[in-house]
Amino acid sequence: MSSDPAAKRPFGRRPGKSETRAAILAAAERRFAEAGYAGASLRAIARDAAVDPALISHFFGSKAGLFVAAVKWPIAPEETVAEVMAGGPEEAGRRLARVFLRHWGPTQTRGPILALFNAATADPEVAALRGEFLRDRLLLPILDALDADRRALRAGLISAQLNGLGMNRYVTGFIGPDQADDEEIIDAVAPVLQHYLAGPLS
């Protein structure tokens, strides 16, 4: 870095931390949408945002961290936890199945979910960050509210079931609309989620 970036903005104030972060996120969102996770380069994102590439590491840690921050995650975890718990513990599994299909189903929310899903298969660090988000912000709070034992195991079993379901329903097509509509999927999967949420594991 031979030049001070502020020198290029003689009439503007020096951009603040949150503006720099927002500029990086906006550039990342465009580049990832255009080129996908593997195809977008941190160098190009830094250039678009007019920042030094080292600032990306500073703010987001890694490409995986930037990606997960840039994706418009369509699930509000607190509201989702409240929705799954509303109406008592007996039907929590059914409500979780319903919330899951409602987010994966429509194209506009499925886009970012699938982008994260696909990037997670390409980069284990994305898989870890995505899995931790789902576990820590969504599944463990639900299991806490249910006062469940072995919460980490239960969260792992639930995410296994939901990821596999998302894959077979929306990617491979092995559980396509010709096999079952959403209500039939909810009927089939609700007792399984209920078992993992609140049933005896042994």
For a copy of itself, the binding residues (CB under 8 A) are 121-122, 124, 127-128, 131, 135, 150, 152-153, 155-157, 159-165, 167-169, 171-172, 174-175, 179-180, 184, 187-189, 191-192, 195-196, 199, 201-202
Shortest distance in whole angstroms from residue 190 CB to a copy of itself: 10
Which residues 6+ apart lie within 8 Å of 122 measured at CB?
37, 38
What's the token pair of residue 150? 């072995």
Instruction: Between 85 and 180, name the residue whose CB sits nearer to a copy of itself.
Output: 180
In the three-class reduction of DSSP (H, G, I as helix; E, B as strand; rest coil), residue 134 is classed as helix
Instruction: Between 107 and 172, name the residue whose CB sits nearer to a copy of itself.
Output: 172
Instruction: Between 77 and 156, name the residue whose CB sits nearer to a copy of itself.
Output: 156
Instruction: Between 145 and 180, name the residue whose CB sits nearer to a copy of itself.
Output: 180
Residue type, 78: E
Shortest distance in whole angstroms from residue 79 CB to a copy of itself: 24
Report the C-alpha gap between 172 and 170 in whole angstroms.
Answer: 6
Instruction: Between 127 and 145, name the residue whose CB sits nearer to a copy of itself.
Output: 127
Shortest distance in whole angstroms from residue 98 CB to a copy of itself: 15
Shortest distance in whole angstroms from residue 64 CB to a copy of itself: 13
Shortest distance in whole angstroms from residue 137 CB to a copy of itself: 14
Cβ-contact 124, 62 below 8 angstroms: no
Instruction: Between 22 and 128, name the residue whose CB sits nearer to a copy of itself.
Output: 128
Cβ-contact 159, 139 below 8 angstroms: yes
63, 29, 73, 71: which is closest to 48 by C-alpha?
Answer: 29
In sequence order, which ranges of the chain are alpha helices (DSSP H)? 17-39, 42-49, 53-60, 63-70, 77-85, 92-104, 107-122, 124-133, 140-145, 151-170, 182-198
